[in-house]
Amino acid sequence: MHETRSFAPPPAFAAAANLNAAKLEQLHAHAACDHEGFWADQARTQLSWRQRFEQTLDSSLAPRYRWFTGGLLNASYNCLDRHLAARGDKTAIVFEADDGAITRYSYAALHAEVCRLANALRGLGIGKSDRVVLYLPMGAQAVIAMQACARIGAIHSAVFGGFSAESLKDRIEDAGARLVITADAAPRGGKRVDLKTAVDKALAGGCASVERVLVYRRMDGCAMQPQRDLWWQDRVPTQCAECEPEWVESNHPLFLLYTSGSTGKPKGVQHSTAGYLLGATVTMQWVFDLKQSDVFWCTADIGWITGHSYVAYGPLSNGVTQLIFEGIPTYPDGERFWRMIAAHQVSVFYTAPTAIRALMRLGDHLPARHDLSSLRLLGTVGEPINPEAWMWYHRVIGGGRCPIVDTWWQTETGSMMIAPVPGAVATKPGSCTRPLPGICVDIVDEDGKPVTQIGRGGFLVITRPWPSMLSTIWGNDERYAETYFGRFGDQVYVAGDGAQRDEDGYIWILGRIDDVLNVSGHRLGTMEVESALAAHPRVAEAAVVGRPHDIKGEAILAFVVVRGERADAIAEGLPRELCVWVAEQLGAIARPDEVRLVDGLPKTRSGKIMRRLLRSIGAGETVTQDTSTLENPAILEQLRG
Ligand code: PRX
């Protein structure tokens, strides 16, 4: 908020942009005077329909909103078939493997691959509304699997490959999946990630709904269970390369994606077909200023929402060429991203602040060795970007000429909500600027009243339904209504973030206001980590908070009360053991940076853990909270570590 620098759209960029200031104003004006009419127009012009929708927005079951009811379409048809005549030979995907090997898929080839897999899935008895869990490495096969599910109306639920067998099991069971698609293993940063072993472990512990496991052979194979497991390479290549799409109603679930909330149990965010696809499609044109000549690269893994909207669906729906990368930014060295941008002539690059900060640390000389002149636009997502990293990205990667789009959105919103339209809106380092057309955002106080005072924080809310909003939480309409619409009524979606506005009306995200952490742009519930800790036999009680971290944004700090003597536990190395334990329970991304053993947790008189106090301690701030209620003030010293 103390940031005063502002970067107007470069004139040449604005002149060639899909939306200049006047066109953007027209869209805003249309949406403001006719919200539904605006979105109906977008849906008619942007998507290909089998049958036109009857009603734009059905609010009769609010807060469950249904968009474009009565329409029939297929997401895979929109991403593939509709491009075949005009650009079947155009490259859809350039895949670069961990070891640098490159595979290209034209739209026609991708269509054929998707159809083959879709036919194979139908051959296994998978059809409309069946749930298919994807536990796959980042790569073209992951996109093919998502598209194949969409083609036959099956509901995919991708699970990030970094999640543990235990987390995978929970997600498979909640979704009631009939099929799991995985790979034997995957190379990542020169190391081997065993995926199938985790699937075997998950299935051994339950998952009664799973009938089959389809295994893509990416490396040197794995153990197979004869009745259950099938090789992709045995089943898929022999299938027919045409597959009639399943035409589904607009609100048919396209996918589930589990994400963390403020309870111990992740929730299956359910997205619709039409509204979701519309959001992913138009935001690419508005925010990425997408052109047919672009080479687009979004570095997000397929296991996150960004990998859904801006890898698996948005780029394909728009018919552009995209780069997909299997590896990590620092392997074999810190020049990997820059080398790839130059080699593939990437023009629009979208990544996370964590990656930018990590690469910035390595020094300017690494990007300087590569010709980055193909870049014309840069983007960030997932967490607040600090002005220093923003300026580095702008100056060193963008050569001072590329606008930066800082895009705010969530798993639940499906597509970008607040972001600059680069040919029309001046940017400020650290602000995601203004809401997109048709997206009604406000900042409200405890009573739901708009905060009008400049620089005062409040709850970030979305005050009208939008097409790419989640439809519900899988199997739990009540939790959906309660979590997102429980605070200010059926009309007002509560994002869970705090935000404030500056004198230009720009929005600045202040971070989560619930018990959700953001570690390297990955969302984690403090309660999830706490329940993983509590499952350890030596743990009596645990409290988890985030503390500021230079690269990750936020790191996990856990305070643990042990059973037995604290001194013994420290001597036995329990803190380290607990870090490893959490990684095994939840996945490596949830591994605490530090576990502090303490004799007691600070609690209020009513027994609630004083998290704000723990956060202050974690951040190394002087404690300003009232500590008079602490039963044992001496624990303050232990808490400080
Ligand atoms: O706190 C916000 C943060 O990430 C949360 C959503 O996480 P997830 O559902 O995993 O989706 C991440 C990718 C869309 C938000 O509630 N967040 C996301 N984008 C930004 C952000 N915080 C600040 N600036 C952003 N641009």
* pLDDT per residue as tens digits for the range 128-183: 999 999 999 999 999 999 999 999 999 999 999 999 999 999 999 999 999 999 99
pLDDT in tens, 95-113: 999 999 999 999 999 999 9
**Ligand 1 centre distance from Cα of residue 512 (Å):** 9
- For residues 469 and 598, membership in a common domain is answered with no
If asked whether residues 471 and 542 sit together in one domain, one would say: no
Residue in 256, 497, 514, 520 to alter for ligand 1 test, most ligand atoms within 8 A of Cβ: 497
| Residues 173-228: tens digit of each pLDDT | 999 999 999 999 999 999 999 999 999 999 998 999 999 999 999 999 999 999 99
Q: Please list, in sequence order, all residues whose beta carbon lies within 8 angstroms of the beta carbon of residue 524, skipping any fewer than 6 positions away.
A: 260, 516, 517, 518, 556, 586, 589, 590
Which atom belonging to ligand 1 lies closest to the Cα atom of 495?
Answer: 16
Helix (H, G, I), strand (E, B) or coil at 466: coil
56 backbone φψ class: left, alpha, beta (φ>0; ψ -120 to 50): alpha
* Sequence-ordered alpha helix ranges (H) in 537-630: 566-571, 574-586, 611-618
Quick check: is 589 in a domain? yes
Helices (H), 205-297: 232-235, 274-287
In a domain, 95, yes or no: yes
Tell which atom from ligand 1 comes closest to the C-alpha of 407. Answer: 26
Distance 244 CA to ligand 1 centre (A): 37
- Distance (angstroms) between ligand 1 centre and the Cα of 405 equals 14
Paired residues of 443 in beta bridges: 460
Same domain? 542 vs 460: no
Comparing CA positions, the residue from 100, 110, 170, 168 lying closest to residue 142 is 110
CA 82 to CA 50: how far, in whole Å? 12
Domain shared by 415 and 279, yes or no: yes
Q: Are 581 and 154 in contact (CB under 8 A)?
A: no
One-letter amino acid identity for 162?
Answer: G
408 alpha carbon – ligand 1 mean position (Å): 6
Atom of ligand 1 nearest to the CA of 523: 10
**3-class DSSP state for residue 345?**
coil
Write the burial class of residue 637 (CB in 10 Å: 0-12 exposed, 13-18 middle, 19+ buried).
exposed
Q: What CATH number is given to the structural domain containing 183?
A: 3.40.50.12780
Other CB atoms within a 10 A radius of the CB of residue 537 amount to 5
Note whether residue 512 is domain-resident: no
Angle at 130 between CA 124 and CA 133, to 5 degrees: 85
Residue 179 makes CB contacts below 8 A (sequence gap 6+) with 121, 124, 126, 130, 132, 133, 210, 211, 212, 213, 214
Same structural domain, 95 and 193: yes
Same domain (yes/no): 457, 578: no
Tokens linked to 68: 């474009």
Residue minimizing CA distance to atom 23 of ligand 1: 384
User: Which of 117-126, 254-263, 486-495 has the weakest average pLDDT?
Assistant: 254-263
* CB-CB contact of 227 with 486 (8 Å): no
Tokens of 635: 């624990």
Of 446, 465, 499, which residue sits at a domain end? 499
Measure 1 CA to ligand 1 centroid, in angstroms: 18
Residue 180's domain comprises: 11-499
Say what the pTM is.
Answer: 0.96
Number of domains in the chain: 2
459 and 385 fall within a common domain: yes
Element (H, E) at 544: strand 539-549
Atom of ligand 1 nearest to the CA of 516: 1
Give the atom of ligand 1 at the shortest distance from the alpha carbon of 406.
26
CA of 523 to the centre of ligand 1 (A): 8
- pLDDT in the model for residue 532: 95
Mean pLDDT value across the chain: 96
Residue 51 maps to a domain: yes
Report CA(382)–ligand 1 centroid distance (Å): 4
The DSSP annotation for 145-210 comes to: HHHHHHHTT-EEEE--TTB-HHHHHHHHHHHT-SEEEEESEEEETTEEEEHHHHHHHHHHT--TT-
Retrieve residue 93's tokens.
């995907």
For residue 1, is pLDDT > 70? Answer: no
Sign of the alpha-carbon torsion through 166, 169, 171, 174: negative
pLDDT beyond 80 at 631: no
Give the mutation target among 313, 408, 516 for probing the ligand 1 site: most ligand atoms within 8 A of CB: 408
- For atom 11 of ligand 1, which residue has the closest CA? 410
535 shares a domain with 428 = no
Sign for the CA dihedral angle at 125, 126, 132, 134 comes to positive
Residues 276 and 200 in one domain: yes
CATH of the domain at 614: 3.30.300.30
Whether 514 maps to a domain, the answer reads no
Q: What is the pLDDT, as a whole number, of residue 458?
A: 97
Query: In ligand 1, which atom is closest to the CA atom of 416?
Result: 14
Residue ranges lining ligand 1, Cβ < 6 Å: 259, 305-306, 381-384, 406-411, 432, 495-497, 509, 512, 518, 523
Helix crossing, 165-175 with 195-204: angle to 10°? 60
Contact 600, 636 (CB under 8 A): no
Pocket test for ligand 1, best of 159, 410, 462 (most atoms within 8 A of CB): 410
Residue located nearest, by CA, to atom 26 of ligand 1: 408
3-state SS of 67-122 is EEECCEECHHHHHHHHHHHHHCCCEEEEEECCCCCEEEEEHHHHHHHHHHHHHHHH
Q: Are 422 and 17 in contact (CB under 8 A)?
A: yes
d(CA 39, CA 282): 11
If one residue of 383, 416, 432 were mutated to test the ligand 1 pocket, choosing by the most ligand atoms within 8 A of its CB, it would be 383
Alpha-carbon span 164 to 515, nearest angstrom: 22
Q: How far apart are CA 275 and CA 439, in angstroms?
A: 13
- Residue at 459 is within a domain: yes
The atom number, within ligand 1, closest to the CA of 380 reads: 26
Q: Per residue in 568-577, pLDDT tens?
A: 999 999 999 9
Q: Are residues 493 and 526 in the same domain?
A: no
Q: Which residues touch 295 (CB under 8 Å, ≥6 apart)?
A: 94, 320, 321, 322, 323, 344, 345, 346, 347, 348, 374
Of 452, 470, 499, the last residue of a domain is 499
Distance 145 CA to ligand 1 centre (A): 26
Q: How many CB atoms are closer than 10 A to CB 638?
A: 15
Atom of ligand 1 nearest to the CA of 411: 9
Question: For the chain, what percent of residues have pLDDT higher than 70?
Answer: 100
**Domain assignment of residue 603, yes or no:** yes
Q: Which of 499, 532, 553 is the last residue of a domain?
A: 499
Tokens (6 digits) for 304: 């996150």
The pLDDT confidence band at residue 627, using thresholds 50, 70 and 90, is confident
Among 381, 385, 406, 460, name the best residue to mutate to test ligand 1's pocket (greatest count of ligand atoms within 8 A of Cβ): 381
Residue pair 150/158 in contact by the 8 Å Cβ criterion? no
Give the list of residues 6+ apart from residue 96 with CB closer than 8 angstroms, or none: 102, 323, 324, 325, 326, 327, 340, 344
421 and 533 belong to one structural domain? no
- Is 63 within a domain? yes
Residues 427 and 539 in one domain: no
Q: Buried b vs exposed e over 236-269: b needs ≥16 C-beta within 10 Å? A: beebeeebebbebbbbbbbbbbbbbbeeebbbbb
Tell me phi and psi for residue 267, to 5 degrees.
-110, 145
Write the pLDDT tens digit of every residue in 21-62: 999 999 999 999 999 999 999 999 999 999 999 999 999 999
Residues 6+ apart with CB under 8 A from 34: none
Atom 15 in ligand 1: residue holding the nearest Cα: 410
Mean pLDDT over 366-378 rounds to: 98
The residues with which 418 forms a beta bridge, in sequence order, are: 408, 435
